[in-house]
Amino acid sequence: MSNPAQAPLLSAHQIERRAPIGDAVLLHPASLDIFGGEHLILSGPSGAGKSVLMRSLALLDPLCGGSLRFRGEPVGAAGIPHFRSQVAYCRQRPAVLGGSVEDNLRLPFELKVNTGRGYRRERVVELLAVAGKPPEFLAKDGRDLSGGEAQVMGLVRAMQLDPTILLLDEPTAALDPESTVQVENLVLGWARGRSSDVATVWISHDPAQDARVGTRHLRVVAGRLSDLPAPEAHAQAHQAMVQAAVGTDPRV
């Protein structure tokens, strides 16, 4: 197994974001490396810039400075669709794109970036089972989904495409405890089979979640990314790393 500390999957150098209108600083220059096998937790007060940072990592908003490298290579304008298919940003409330759950899951394969790949139902059914959803879930109308069900649909939609990094913007903030566990199982189960080839980044306000899934912890406060976690978060992050070490992480 390669040493993930030597080659980050995604490397952000001094990336900076300003509001498109009014020029207010949304994210002060921030540098961040994301390594294979890790589950990075981003926390911080609401409106501090966690989502801004995460959206910047997916190049969804224009950067005002800094650079991004994916597997060591800079990402040019033409390469952005492919880059986003690899660094998949998942909104807190996934957009339902019409039709049934299965229609939603088929849709990405119509995109140019997925040319030559096909929808695989058995794969999807497998993923759904991890999240505690029966195959009948596929026939459900997308408009009737609860928050938790929509989240599962959104995550499976992203995971079936084999991304390298999942950027999860408060994936469980609006979910009940049971759905939260299902979503965590889904993501961690998906990642476990791929270990150092993939990574996940979570925005979370829940210390218990940090403890369950996190292997590293960063804070965003007032638009600044800090490597130094707050004392209580540090303890949690450490505990999480110990937990993760029992499982898959080779570094600890």
Task: Enumerate binding residues for other proteins (CB under 8 A).
Answer: 20-21, 58-62, 77, 80-86, 88-91, 93-95, 97, 108, 111-114, 157-158, 161
Pick 117 or 234: Cβ nearer other proteins: 117
74 burial via Cβ count (<10 Å: 0-12, 13-18, 19+) = exposed
- The least CB distance from residue 112 to other proteins, in Å, is 6
Pick 106 or 217: Cβ nearer other proteins: 106
- The least CB distance from residue 217 to other proteins, in Å, is 24
Residue 36 in tokens = 């294979």
Q: How many CA atoms lie within 13 A of 223 on its CB side?
A: 11
Pick 113 or 221: Cβ nearer other proteins: 113
Cβ atoms 244, 39 nearer than 8 A? yes
Q: How many CA atoms lie within 13 A of 198 on its CB side?
A: 21
Pick 95 or 139: Cβ nearer other proteins: 95
Pick 104 or 236: Cβ nearer other proteins: 104
User: Nearest CA to 57 among 4, 114, 11, 113?
Assistant: 11
- The least CB distance from residue 57 to other proteins, in Å, is 11
> Cα–Cα distance between 230 and 43 in angstroms, integer?
10
Give φ, ψ of 105 to 5 degrees. -75, -30
- The least CB distance from residue 77 to other proteins, in Å, is 5
- The least CB distance from residue 20 to other proteins, in Å, is 5
